[in-house]
Amino acid sequence: MDFLRYKTLKFRREGKILHMTLNRPEQLNAVDPVMDAELAQVFTEFTNDPHTRVVVITGEGRAFSAGGDIPNMQRIIERPELFDEGALHAKQIVFSMLDCPKPIIAKVNGHAIGLGATLALFCDVIFAASHAKFGDPHVKVGFAAGDGGAIIWPQLIGFARAKQYLMTGDLIAAPDAERIGLINQAVPAEQLDEIADGFARRLANGASKAIEYTKTAVNIQLKQIAHALMDTSISFEQLTNYTKDHKEAVNAFIEKRDPVFTGE
């Protein structure tokens, strides 16, 4: 892998484990167009990298990822054609994560919101610091949950709970996320590296082909669901980009006030 060509992701190797860090800490690792494009290609590189058996993903600073980048949302409102590229990247991220046979571990060091939550929840095993929160607040910015949340949340916690969280955008604390099956384990922040990295080492030292084939088999049904739903969910998100409620939400965020939704 050519690590130097990535501008928003940083990497370090630990034997057969590759650690990837989302690296926009001043923006709480919000996903801008550059990071979006890099995430759309990096999991394919993991698949083809003979030196990597396990991938661990975390965030730089105090957040895992705050999700979508508000300035980019403003640009897309002004130039709706820009949504097409983001839609393509959203599909590439989800599909390439599911296609990658190597175990991907989320080490969620802080809040994972929106696309950040989608990125974490599509990982194979999810460890989180107990203070971290998860949420998909697309609706709070007037968007349909189109970048994968409507796919993965119901698979992890069932339709009733998924609709509750997706239709409100409410956040859920890591211990509660563990309790309902959204994540694997919530741990004290000071133990997160030890526990997540220790699990990665266990997999890296295991029978790699057996582990990869097992992940591939388990993912077959999830891949079928993702391919069946992704285009529709992204299309709904694209439609909401044209609504007055979405424009109001973005303006309210920029102006640091509560949005007033009208249903238009």
Tokens, residue 157 = 């916690």
| 96-131 pLDDT tens trace | 999 999 999 999 999 999 999 999 999 999 999 999
Class of domain 3-190: alpha beta
pLDDT higher than threshold 90 for residue 69: no
CB neighbour class for 121 (10 Å; exposed up to 12, middle 13-18, buried from 19): buried
pLDDT of residue 68: 86
Alpha helix locations (H) across 104-180?
115-121, 149-157, 159-168, 174-179
> What pTM was estimated for this model as a whole?
0.96
Domain ranges of the chain: 3-190
Percent with pLDDT over 90 in the chain = 97
CB 240 within 8 A of CB 76: no
| 163-191 pLDDT tens trace | 999 999 999 999 999 999 999 999 999 99
Q: Mean pLDDT score of the chain, rounded to an integer? A: 96
pLDDT band at 20 (very low <50, low <70, confident <90, very high): very high
CB neighbour class for 209 (10 Å; exposed up to 12, middle 13-18, buried from 19): exposed
